[in-house]
Amino acid sequence: MEGLTTIKQRFEIIGNDEKLNRSLEKAMRVAPTDISVLVTGESGVGKETIPKIIHQLSHRKHCNYIAVNCGAIPEGTIDSELFGHEKGAFTGATSTRKGYFEVADGGTIFLDEVGELPLTTQVRLLRVLENGEFIKVGSSQVQKTDVRIVAATNMKMQQAIQKGKFREDLYYRLSTIELHLPPLRERENDIHLLFRKFASDFAQKYRMPTIRLNDDAVNLLLNYRFPGNIRQLRNIAEQISVVEESRNIGPEKLIQYLPNYNNLPAIVESTNNESDFSEDRDVLYKALYELRKDFNELKALTLDLIKNKNTAEIPTEKLHLLEEFKKESANFSNDKNVELIQIQQPNPISNYEYAETIEEDESLSLHEKEIEMIKKSLEKNQNKRKLAAKELGISERTLYRKIKQYNL
């Protein structure tokens, strides 16, 4: 059997991520068998490479290999595409046609986006997996086929099963062996390698010098989440190669090609890959920053009213803050023993009393607290970023970005 390095070179796979290597080694081990394989992973991670490896390392390599995108075939014709049809089976069926399972007899069929298959087609596919039998559309004759099925999906299959969109028995038939390819954001050490490879390829294709990223741009690239994974990274490399005149790219240029990039703390996905929850947390961070801003404005305005007493006037654009504060305060004013401010505009504020002295609280700025914590941690760990990052509970690259951001 060929080694892992040889397989990577043969199929042009770049990267040394541990999870990627584990999946490739698993594919190499199951290739000589006829076991069905299900490849899972987000869109753009390169799932289509796995079935090619399995086919080329199997005893079926001299027979047909057919890749079928199940999501691209209309529901009304997919049975005909997969299993064939007889002449006159439906309008437009002017002749008998062989389906993919008949053409690929003895070889391998790759069913990409298998989660998109209609339920009726899933029943037919289950029969092929169980005993190798199928029936053409419009026929009553049972035919036999000997094919190896490798399927792939970016869907969360357990959720699809619970919603009744995918048959549970078919899932267990397909996933005798399940291979998961990690998203690009979990392959941090491979991101720059891939970018350099793409940049070199496009430089040769368009006959121009290769673009290069400076250190700050590399760190920016590593901090991006890449929702489109490798496909998106390749697209970014091509855009920059064609559009940018300078061949040395800094972060100010690179960020223009990273959609929805923000400086919020990096979100680590949970073990059950609930990406929707991670996206919700991104939104929550933004909401908290906006809430803090409104709170600080209200706090500053209130202190200004206290200090200036009757000589102060409320700016019109700030009225809504005090009105909201007045409504909320009604629920707990008895506990705080503070009389509500009577608002009259444009007349000066008057007739207010306080039962206790209000002192300015310590600043609640998350920005200042974050800088303070980073400084203390760096001092404590003698400016060793790795130890400081571990103490703060963040990655070393996130700490590096924060140091650059705050000029620490």
Please write the tens of the pLDDT for every residue from 339-381.
444 444 444 444 444 334 444 444 445 667 778 888 888 888 8
Quick check: is 141 in a domain?
Answer: yes
Indicate which CATH number applies to the domain containing 232.
1.10.8.60
Q: State residue 218's pLDDT score.
A: 95
Q: How confident is the model at residue 319 (pLDDT cuts 50, 70, 90)?
A: low
The answer on 157 and 17 residing in a single domain is yes
Residues 334 and 384 in one domain: no
Of 162-166, 294-298, 368-372, highest mean pLDDT: 162-166
Q: Which residue has the higher pLDDT, 305 or 401?
A: 401
- Of 182, 204, 224, the position where a domain reaches its end is 182
Last residue of a domain, one of 159, 182, 205: 182
Asked if residue 210 and residue 190 are part of one domain, the reply reads: yes
Amino acid, single-letter form, for residue 11: F
Whose CA is closest to 66, among 105, 35, 118, 13?
105
Residues 15 and 152 reside in one and the same domain: yes
Task: List Cα–Cα distances, 98 to 95, 105, 126, 257, in angstroms.
Answer: 10, 11, 19, 46
Span 374-401, pLDDT tens digits:
888 888 888 888 888 888 878 877 887 7
Q: In terms of domains, do 207 and 348 share one?
A: no
59 pLDDT above the threshold of 50: yes
Residues 225 and 351 in one domain: no
pTM: 0.64
- CATH code, domain carrying 59: 3.40.50.300
Residue 339 maps to a domain: yes
The more confidently predicted of residues 284 and 375 is 375
Judge whether 92 lies within some domain.
no
Do 274 and 387 fall into the same domain?
no
Instruction: Please tell me whether residues 171 and 49 are part of one structural domain.
Output: yes
- Cβ-Cβ contacts under 8 Å for 287 (sequence gap 6 or more): none
Q: What is the pLDDT of residue 372?
A: 80
How much is the mean pLDDT over the chain? 82
Output the CA angle 51-49-225, nearest 5 degrees.
130
pLDDT interval class at 247 (50, 70, 90): very high
Mark whether 39 and 115 lie in a shared domain: yes
Q: List the single range of 130-139, 165-174, 310-319, 374-383 with lowest mean pLDDT.
A: 310-319
Top-confidence residue, 173 or 386: 173
pLDDT bucket at 270, cuts 50 / 70 / 90:
very low
| CATH number of the domain bearing residue 379 | 1.10.10
**Residue 101 is encoded by which pair of tokens?**
């399972």
Q: What is the pLDDT of residue 368?
A: 74
Q: Residues 336, 383: one domain?
A: no
Same domain, residue pair 12 and 161: yes
- Whether the predicted pLDDT of 263 surpasses 90: no
> The domain containing residue 203 runs over which residues?
185-257
Total domains present in the chain: 4
Q: How far apart are the first and last CA of the chain?
A: 52
Same-domain pairing of 395 and 286: no
Return the pLDDT at 338. 42
CB 117 within 8 A of CB 70: yes
What percent of the chain is predicted at pLDDT more than 70?
Answer: 75
Decide: residue 268, CB within 10 A, 0-12 exposed, 13-18 middle, 19+ buried. exposed
- Residue 231 resides in a domain: yes
